[in-house]
Structure 1
């Protein structure tokens, strides 16, 4: 986490045109102090700096990488900054969408709490007619798929995540995007390969268990 904070502070220093702070061995201060400096520079800046792509980049970088402390600090000190930030990535109309896509559960819960005052975050659409439940239905980046734990278990996690998002917008489950697909249909389509992998994994596991059981019941003489 500290390494990610260091990366983020370098980006913020560049955004705000600060050249000397990092040379003052900021890398050696404790994580909380580093976080405080980052947030202060961010929140004390002009509104234009966090409305443009450079300022918003820091927030979306923190969301993608799960830097909860930074997002929490922004949410507490200036929630409108978090709510109004825009991403260069057209898949994310706002911060809530990014948290859902990157499967950042804690940040998702945090933003949902703030978003209760800004309902449009939950009830927004992208240019393809997708809502946040469609985003939950998309397969996450390959780096978030832990196939070593078994595709079947990963599929279970994906279903749980989809249900968690569905619980905050239950009436969206049957709404179609511009391709005529509901979130559930998109989920089924995007997870086809993971389902196949899960089936193979389960068959392989069942076969292995059967072999072990047979050996235990019928040991070699």
Structure 2
């Protein structure tokens, strides 16, 4: 056998060993992998894929926790810094895998790997925030030294935390670095702009009253149970640490939650009844209190600027006031208005105020809030836009297509909602403006009829379809019952003044 043949066979054998090792890694079969390493004298840093992945890269992506721990025992500290062709360490991929146990095991081997950036010059902490993994973010937030982050890193971290609803960590970051409130991203949006888009709960309009009563009872029972447990401190066995700087991130979050719960306890059962209504009558994810505490912190920093700079942040690249109104985010707006009431008089290029946006987007909570400010309401209800539409014309139109939520899938209910909304807005409108015509010569009532013609036709068809289905169901039931009566020769008889049916079964 010549040398070239021997070389080819050796190369083929090596390739087969790598192939088997790759499969053993994917399956988490450490016994097979260990045997291959020993018999074929393969280094743990050998590349097993065309992307330059080692066995540890592959095991991490496959989330083989046990395999990773065994492999780490065979490796040196420096081996964890090896990158694949994409420029990612095994630790960076471990963060993306959302396996905190793997990350912790690697940190025990080499705690410096938390500093090594991956693709797009991204730190592992940023990768965790981008994935939205709460447990991973909290762990790496503590493990990553603050000196590793510059202002740009902190802002992008804050953006990812807000986008994934990790408001507790975001709040802690802003407390440490309040100047981050003034930073803007590539799209010129600040953190406040992101928070203005927070979606609110959507009211459930199609609900079953029996289910509602049952769920109300269960919810209130659980509230009473929690209240009793909280009044028994010896059972909890938890001691609060007084010095805030001695607490870990998780302890600081728990501390803040406890203080918030104590405030809610002081509000009494009226607050809990309102909470019950919100839990049962609304759908969607509720915005936590920490999100609005974050808004307060950011807004406090913005208020330190002069008026022109404040308005620059409020208005550009788009008005966060009007965006919050679209979302129905009243709590956000109250925080802003409480210290800068002049912003309630903001108008856009169509001469729309916050009240106009509340009417267009069917935001009853904001509409009622502005309505109670009588002077402001009286000033804006008579205003018209470029098409000479007043506020009642806007109520007559169908909701904008970019409305963040759809309130009801039932067309006939949606028609009723729009009618009720039109009448509600009409109630605050002077009779003269209620009959005013726009540029097209249409009154609000005429515009309502025109805009809702298609919806009305669809609602009528929907109602007829439901009625037809009910009639067919009733007919089918009656037919089956009649057939059963005929078969068993059911005869009427009286017992104690009540008419019942007695079966004469065939013998």
TM bracket, shorter-chain basis = 0.7 to 0.9
Structure ranking higher on relative contact order (CA contacts 8 Å, 6+ apart): 1
Residue 36 of structure 1 corresponds to which residue in structure 2? 296
Q: How does 1:149-164 map to 2 (within 5 A)?
A: 150-164=410-424
Shift of the alpha carbon at 1:162? 0.6
Residue 333 of structure 2 corresponds to which residue in structure 1? 71
The answer to whether the 8 Å contact 2:362/2:399 transfers is yes
Q: Which of 354, 377, 393 is the aligned partner of 1:134? A: 393
Q: Where does the alignment leave 5 or more consecutive residues of structure 2 unmatched?
A: 1-161, 168-173, 175-179, 192-248, 257-289, 484-507
Rounded to whole Å, the distance in 1 between the matches of 2:452 and 2:182 is: 36
Q: Which of 97, 101, 118 is the aligned partner of 2:360? A: 101
Shift of the alpha carbon at 1:93? 1.8
Rounded to whole Å, the distance in 1 between the matches of 2:437 and 2:450 is: 14
* Residue 322 of structure 2 corresponds to residue 60 of structure 1: yes
Change (3 A) 1:109 1:155: same
- Which whole-Å deviations, capped at 9, do the CAs of 1:136-182 have from their partners, x for residues lacking one? 0010034554562x111100000011111111014122111111000
The answer to whether the 8 Å contact 1:74/1:82 transfers is no
Rounded to whole Å, the distance in 1 between the matches of 2:411 and 2:367 is: 24
Q: Where does the alignment leave 5 or more consecutive residues of structure 1 unmatched?
A: 19-24
Rounded to whole Å, the distance in 1 between the matches of 2:374 and 2:310 is: 18
SS in 2 for 1:218: helix
Q: How does 1:1-221 map to 2 (within 5 A)?
A: 13-14=183-184, 30-49=290-309, 51=311, 53-54=315-316, 57-83=319-345, 85-88=346-349, 90=350, 93-114=352-373, 116-117=375-376, 119-142=378-401, 143=403, 144-146=405-407, 148=409, 150-171=410-431, 172-219=433-480, 221=483
The answer to whether the 8 Å contact 1:176/1:182 transfers is yes
Rounded to whole Å, the distance in 2 between the matches of 1:119 and 1:163 is: 17
- Which whole-Å deviations, capped at 9, do the CAs of 1:12-71 have from their partners, x for residues lacking one? 7526978xxxxxx9xx89223212123324444433345563186110111111211111
The answer to whether the 8 Å contact 2:397/2:447 transfers is yes
Rounded to whole Å, the distance in 2 between the matches of 1:4 and 1:97 is: 30
Pairwise CA RMSD: 3.1
The answer to whether the 8 Å contact 2:292/2:332 transfers is no
SS in 2 for 1:116: helix
- Which whole-Å deviations, capped at 9, do the CAs of 1:112-146 have from their partners, x for residues lacking one? 22352463222211111110000000100345545
The answer to whether the 8 Å contact 2:321/2:333 transfers is yes
Name the count of aligned residue pairs: 206
- What TM-score do you get using the length of structure 2 for normalisation? 0.37
Larger Rg over CA atoms: 2
Change (3 A) 1:17 1:153: closer
